[in-house]
Each structure stands twice: as structure tokens, then as C-alpha cells.
Structure 1
Amino acid sequence: MSWATAKFSEVATIERNSVAPAAITSGTTYVGLEHISSGGESLSPVQVEAGELSSNKFAFDADTILFGKLRPYLAKVVAPSVSGVCSTDILPIRPGGDLDKKFLLHFLLSPKQVAYVANRATGANLPRLSPKELAAMEIPLPPLEEQRRIAGILDAADALRRRRREALALLDTLPGAIFAEMFGDPRDNPLSYPARKLSDLCSRITVGVVIKPASYYVDDGVPALRSVNVREGGFDFKDMKYFSQETNDGPLKKSKLKKGDVVIVRTGQPGRAAVVEEEIVGANCIDMLIASPKEDELLPYFLEAFLNSEAGRQMALSNQTGQVQQHLNATALKGIDFITPPIEEQREFARRLDEIRRAKERLNVHLCELETLFASLQSRAFAGEL
């Protein structure tokens, strides 16, 4: 199907109505780039007090779309449901009478269009898209009813993706809830479990590579995990560093990871922990703690859940050092008075965690299918094939 096209400036207005700081009253809604997630997944505006903002902002309302012009490849584009002010790195866009707001939103978020604006941004370190470039952009212009039909299909597909993500986020909260249900608050130890030093329950508690790790980096090889790669109960393998196999087996062998080891963040978000599975056995880690539980007395997943709980973190950081940010050291970790439920109870806890992991795997498969479907719908929608 062939549609008419129009220049952006012919069907929408880029509004830059400046609001001085003195005119911003208490309770005003403020949106900065940090309040818009990449891909327009969510908007989390804040309420500001009079005098809190020190520079001019742009006014927007619920009939506009907010377009982040700084680093446009991040696709920080949302449709607000309220009025307020926004950073001047955000352009409020008001659709004209021939353009549906939701259709415009989906168009600006489509991968093809995100790539288009990213390629026209200028500036090496902080690329920005100029309003002039945005105004000159071509946009397909089917009849309004067709725009609304397309937007409705994309809204429905997007809602399915969001529900899958929400379900996954809910599953992420279950390990902590199950831990609290089964064992109570370890600080109070309501079930009167025997307490032992963690050093007695682990065959080793050591620190990963800390001396000039960058001097060992290679382009590809053995994964070298950093704190940014550790999530609660798992690993994120984006932005990885690597050691050579020779170095890993030589001067850095002390901190090679074994199956069942628990990797623990020291600084930034100290105490955050994840268990090493088969897929990363033999990898190494940088400036993090490694605990190797004696599995006849302490299961790795029990230790992981303990450290990821708020109570566990507080216990681990009871001997924290550092004034600027909390820092977990090996001595403090070894000295925790660690509750030790019977191994059978720990196994039941691990079994319930395994059920959660299997449920997450199924949901992730469904989410990948929905992401593929949504990308296909986006591509077809603006090519007149939907």
C-alpha cells in the first residue's frame, strides 16, 4: 500500500516554550532524560519544589510527545499523560490534526526511525539531533482511521511484551520472599538455627584480581567478570572484559571460578551475589569476593539468597570500611555469624528456586517471541503492509 508522506514540520510542531526557573511552582511535574527509559519503556517524572530547578525548561502537556534529542540512538521517546516542564535536551512535539499521537509515538520508536535520527545527530561525545533535522524528516501519512488502527495493533503487541516483563520482574522478587518465609530474618534468627562463622562453612573466601587488571586484558579469551556483570542471582554478560587462557592458568589462577562458587560484589552495591554455573566455570573475576561453600553444610543458593537479602547485606557490612561508598572486605565476610538451617531445608529452598528459574526460562522464551513479533509489526506497519 502506498501512502502519502509529509515533512515532519507540516504535520507536527516542535514546541520550545521556555519556562524560567522563577515561574516553576512547587508540585510541578519535571521530566529529565534520566526519567525516560531507553526505548520509551517507561516514564518516571518527579515533582519539584519552587527554586529547585536552576535553568530554563520547556513546557509540555498531555497532548505532546517528549523526544530526547541527546543521544537519540537511546530512543528516549514517550507520550506523557500529564502537563509539566522538561529538560531542554527533550523536545515537546505536538501532532497536528492529520496525525494521531500514538501513531507518531510508534513511528518515532520504530528501529528504522531510531537509526535514521541517530545517523543525523552531530557531536562526537554527546551527539544531539537538531530540531531542524527533526522538522525536515519525512513521515508516512495514512488516513487518520488507518493511523489509529495501526497504533492500536502496536499498542496491543507492546502491552503483551510489557506484561511478560512485569511477570519476570515479579519472579525476581520471589527468592527473597521464599527465603524470608522459610528462614525468617537472619538477624533475629527466629527459628533458633545454630550460628557459625562463614569462614567455617566455606573452603575458601578470597578476592578476585585487584592489581592492575587492565594490564591483563585481551580482545577475546577467558571472561573476566566485574561488578557490572553481577545481578542478584545471575550474571549479565554485556560489556565483558577478557584474560588470556595463559594468564588465567598462570598468575591469576588463584581466583579462577569453580561450579558452585558464589561471586560477591565488594563496592558500589556490596553483597550482591550470584552462583557460578557450568557455563562460566574457569572464568575469573575482578575486585570481587569469591566464596566456595562446603556443600555438605552450606548450599551455594542459600548463601546467594542470604547475601541478596537486605538483612544479609546489613550483616555482611557490619564491619564496612570506606567513607564515600560502602565496601565489603573478605575479613568482614568471613566473620559473619551465619545461620545454618539443616541441609535438608536448604535443599528444599534450592528446589523451590529451581522451579522459579524454569518458570523464568519459559517466560524469557515467550518474551523473545513477542519481541520478534513486535519488531516485525513495526517494520510492516510503516511500510503499509499491516
Structure 2
Amino acid sequence: MREGWSSTALKNVCTVDKAKHSGTTLPYVGLEHIESGTGKFIGSLAPATAKSTTFSFTAGHVLYGRLRPYLNKVLLPEFDGHCSSEIFPLRVESSLDRRFLYYWLTWEPVVKEIDSTSTGARMPRANINKLLEFEIPLPSFSEQKRIVAILDEAFAGIATAVANTEKNLANARELFESYLNSVFSQRGESWARKPLETLVHDTCTLSYGIVQPGPDVTDGLPVVRPTDLREKFIRRDTLKTIDPSLAKAYSRTTLHGGDLLLCVRGTTGVVSIAATELEGANVTRGIVPIRFNPDLLGQELGYYLLRSPVVQEQISAKTYGAALMQINIRDVRKLLIPVPSRKIHEELRGSLDDLSVEAGRLQSIYRQKLNALSELKQSLLQKAFSGELTADKEVSNAIHNKEEVA
């Protein structure tokens, strides 16, 4: 800690204000309205009520999400309102700047220390009483203001760099798919439309999973749920693991690794690929594993064909339901898939491989930049709370260097 600074227990400069909301119509803040890691409010300012007990807060509070503290949900509201009981309104004393507290609460070492106080396996909650015992650096109020001003400017620059990088990452992802869509839309007589059920491997039953998730089990059987279908590849370390006996009777949806996973309940039409390490894993209700006959269609091209407009439009047309959107398995089996001739298939393989490598290279660069920007934020916070943060060109140069394209 910098010479001349002091520290104190958080409870000496901050209190938890759990005043129950009186029922006056004000904006409501739930955990889902606070963006993880950024403190961005993503809810509505429209007056709203809640079914359960809520806490009142003002524009002078700091809102701290105690449920799953590792998600780092902290908000500096600019309005009066009421919040979920999973959120604690913190009121700061006059010696503590609330933005200084916000930045301290989002500093990774503090996040980890708070998380270590959590109790509960499935729904871990921070122990607020232990949090209040934590020592917080307490420089003079004017020094807190100086630090906050530097961090505000730096984090605004980082946010811009992140937005630009995420846009570039999205463009890199779309590059490959844009090419594929142009190929699919211009297909000629050498392409045939065949029912999906005629293109799959003999071991593929085109059945949806019926395994019930069950509780997490250490070293258990990985299961893929519809909510897991967020990226192109689904890997083992991101999945829930259950008691293997829960899936013993459902061998027809056991994964071989490399299977295409089609969502047929909820967000119908979403497609991912099960990594080869998922051989022997299974899927829950709402997912249909697909393995194409390699003599008729390759898995990689099959993945993009399933995502193409010509197939997605068929899925959309057959999807029904209001509260839960879904498509019948018989309609899935009858989906007409555009299949190129063997000659075109081989021609596409070469060009797709080249474009895929380049798109992958660009995506890797942008992901590395996002990681570097995240690390830069934590580095600035470390300097801030050790008294080493200065307002020279170091910060702006660091942001610029992280934003440059390799």
C-alpha cells in the first residue's frame, strides 16, 4: 500500500441498507439486469413491481449481487428504485467515494475473496457479514476522486476497444458463413435435395434426448442441454455432469464425438458440433444428435448446410408452440437437405478449408485481444489500490496497443 494511505474494515465506511420497498411504483433491478463484469444496467427504467420482497435503493447506493458472486454483478444506479433480495444496497459514508468502492468490489482479488465466503452448492451466496470485515484501502477523499477519474476515463476507452474488437470478431465469424450462404443460394442441377433421414449413418436414429439432467456429480457423465448450444464446438469442460445411471437406458442418443447437435425445443434450429472428447456423453430433451453417412455428406459441410437459410426456413415453418417452441421429430427427419455432387463436394472441401483457416486465425487474434483488454482492466485496478496509478500516457498507450490488429 502507498505510504500515507490507511485502510479500514469495510463496515466502518459502508453499511448494508435492507429497507423493504414500500410498494411505490419505481424501476426494478434484478440480477438479470446487471451485466456481469461491466456494471452495465441492461434493464428498463419503466416502473415495475415484483412478486417477492424487494429492497429500496437510491442513486446514492452501490448495488451488490450476492448470488454467485464470481459473476461480479455490481451496479452504480443513477436512479431510485427497488431491487431483488439477492442484491444488497450498500450505503457509503462520507469518507468513501461510491465509485471507488465499485471499482474495489470488481477487482479480481476481491471478487475471489468474496466468492470464498460463499455458502450453498447449487446457488452460492456471498456472506455479507464476512465481506464487511474485509480491509479496504482508504486514501484521502481527494485521492479517491483522482483515482476514480483516471479509471473512468481508462475504462471508457477499454469499453470502446472491446466493442470494436467484438465487432471485428463477429465479422470474422460471418466471413465464412457468408461465403457458404452464397454457395448454397446459387446451387444448380448438380445439387440434390434429400430428406435428412436418408443421409445419416446407420447408427444415427435421429431421436431427441430424454435424459433428465439431475444433480451435478464429480467425474460424472457429461450431458449437453439446449442452453449449452452457444458456440460452434461443445467441449467437455463446459458441461454439466450427472450420475451415469440416469442415461444408461438411452443409448440411442449416446454421442460418438463429432456429432452435430440440433436444438428442437426452445431456440429451434440452433446447431453445434460435439467435440470428439464427448464420445460416450449424452443429450437431454430438446437435442437431436446427427451423424451423416460420410459417403453422402461430410459433418463439417453438413453443419453449415443445417445452418443455411434453405434448411432454417424449413425448421421455422414447422416450429410450433407459444411458451415453448418446438418441432416434431418426424418433421426433422423429413427436412430437405441440399446435397452437392461428389465433384462439387471435393471442390468445396479445399476452398472451405482455406477460408476456415483464415477465419479461425482472425477469430483467434480478436479473442486474444479481448483477453488482453480484460487483463488490462485488472492491471489498472491493481495499480489503483496499491497507489501506483498515474494519469500519464501509460494508460492510453496501453489501450491503444491492445486495440491494434496483429
The alignment's TM-score, normalised by the length of structure 1, stands at: 0.72
The equivalent of 2:385 in structure 1 is 382
Q: How far apart are the structure 1 equivalents of 2:120 and 2:221?
A: 35
In structure 2, runs of 5+ residues without a counterpart are 390-406
The equivalent of 1:36 in structure 2 is 34
Q: How far apart are the structure 1 equivalents of 2:311 and 2:92?
A: 51
The equivalent of 2:63 in structure 1 is 66
Residue type matched to 2:103 in 1?
H
Does residue 203 (structure 1) correspond to residue 196 (structure 2)? The answer is no
1:234 Cα shift? Answer: 2.0
The equivalent of 1:338 in structure 2 is 337
Q: How far apart are the structure 2 equivalents of 1:293 and 1:164?
A: 39
SS at match of 1:206: coil
1:77 Cα shift? Answer: 0.7
> How many percent of aligned residue pairs carry the same amino acid?
23
The equivalent of 2:268 in structure 1 is 270
User: Superposed, which structure 2 residues align to 1:1-386 within 5 Å?
Assistant: 1-2=2-3, 3-12=5-14, 14-16=16-18, 18-21=20-23, 23-24=24-25, 28-49=26-47, 52-53=49-50, 57-61=55-59, 63-80=60-77, 82-89=78-85, 90-120=87-117, 137-151=134-148, 154-155=151-152, 156=154, 160=158, 163-164=161-162, 167-168=165-166, 171-172=169-170, 175=173, 179=177, 183=181, 194-204=192-202, 205-207=204-206, 210=209, 219-220=218-219, 224-236=223-235, 237-241=237-241, 252=251, 255-259=254-258, 261-276=259-274, 279-280=276-277, 282-287=279-284, 288-294=287-293, 298-308=297-307, 312-316=311-315, 318-319=317-318, 325-328=324-327, 330-340=329-339, 342-343=344-345, 344=347, 348=351, 351-384=354-387, 386=389
- Whether the aligned pair in 2 keeps the contact of 1:233 and 1:304 (CA below 8 Å) is no
**Distance of aligned partners of 1:333 and 1:177 in 2 relative to their CA distance in 1, 3 Å threshold:** farther
- Whether the aligned pair in 1 keeps the contact of 2:262 and 2:271 (CA below 8 Å) is yes
Give a deviation string over 1:56-105, Cα, whole Å, max 9, x none. 541322x432212444444321223x313131423333444433333211
Moved more, 108-117 or 367-376: 367-376
1:33 Cα shift? Answer: 1.5
Q: How far apart are the structure 1 equivalents of 2:50 and 2:376?
A: 42
**Distance of aligned partners of 1:17 and 1:212 in 2 relative to their CA distance in 1, 3 Å threshold:** closer
- Whether the aligned pair in 1 keeps the contact of 2:195 and 2:333 (CA below 8 Å) is yes
**Distance of aligned partners of 1:355 and 1:200 in 2 relative to their CA distance in 1, 3 Å threshold:** farther
Q: How far apart are the structure 2 equivalents of 1:280 and 1:123?
A: 30
Q: How far apart are the structure 1 equivalents of 2:76 and 2:353?
A: 43
Q: How far apart are the structure 1 equivalents of 2:278 and 2:122?
A: 37
Residue type matched to 2:230 in 1?
R
SS at match of 2:265: coil
Residue type matched to 1:368 in 2?
N
Residue type matched to 2:108 in 1?
P
SS at match of 2:205: strand
Q: How far apart are the structure 1 equivalents of 2:114 and 2:278?
A: 42
**Distance of aligned partners of 1:15 and 1:233 in 2 relative to their CA distance in 1, 3 Å threshold:** same
**Distance of aligned partners of 1:373 and 1:117 in 2 relative to their CA distance in 1, 3 Å threshold:** same
- Whether the aligned pair in 1 keeps the contact of 2:39 and 2:76 (CA below 8 Å) is no
1:141 Cα shift? Answer: 0.9
1:358 Cα shift? Answer: 1.9
1:255 Cα shift? Answer: 3.8
**Distance of aligned partners of 1:178 and 1:160 in 2 relative to their CA distance in 1, 3 Å threshold:** same
- Whether the aligned pair in 2 keeps the contact of 1:168 and 1:360 (CA below 8 Å) is no
- Whether the aligned pair in 2 keeps the contact of 1:60 and 1:83 (CA below 8 Å) is yes
Moved more, 318-327 or 64-73: 318-327
Residue type matched to 1:262 in 2?
L
1:148 Cα shift? Answer: 4.1
Moved more, 204-213 or 29-38: 204-213
Residue type matched to 2:8 in 1?
A
**Distance of aligned partners of 1:203 and 1:9 in 2 relative to their CA distance in 1, 3 Å threshold:** closer
Residue type matched to 1:264 in 2?
L
1:230 Cα shift? Answer: 3.0
**Distance of aligned partners of 1:348 and 1:326 in 2 relative to their CA distance in 1, 3 Å threshold:** farther
The equivalent of 2:399 in structure 1 is none
- Whether the aligned pair in 1 keeps the contact of 2:9 and 2:136 (CA below 8 Å) is yes
- Whether the aligned pair in 2 keeps the contact of 1:207 and 1:255 (CA below 8 Å) is no
SS at match of 2:56: strand
SS at match of 1:114: helix
Q: How far apart are the structure 1 equivalents of 2:297 and 2:316?
A: 20
SS at match of 1:87: strand
**Distance of aligned partners of 1:194 and 1:122 in 2 relative to their CA distance in 1, 3 Å threshold:** closer
- Whether the aligned pair in 2 keeps the contact of 1:225 and 1:285 (CA below 8 Å) is yes
SS at match of 1:367: helix
Q: How far apart are the structure 1 equivalents of 2:271 and 2:15?
A: 49
Give a deviation string over 1:98-124, Cα, whole Å, max 9, x none. 333332111111233334444556778
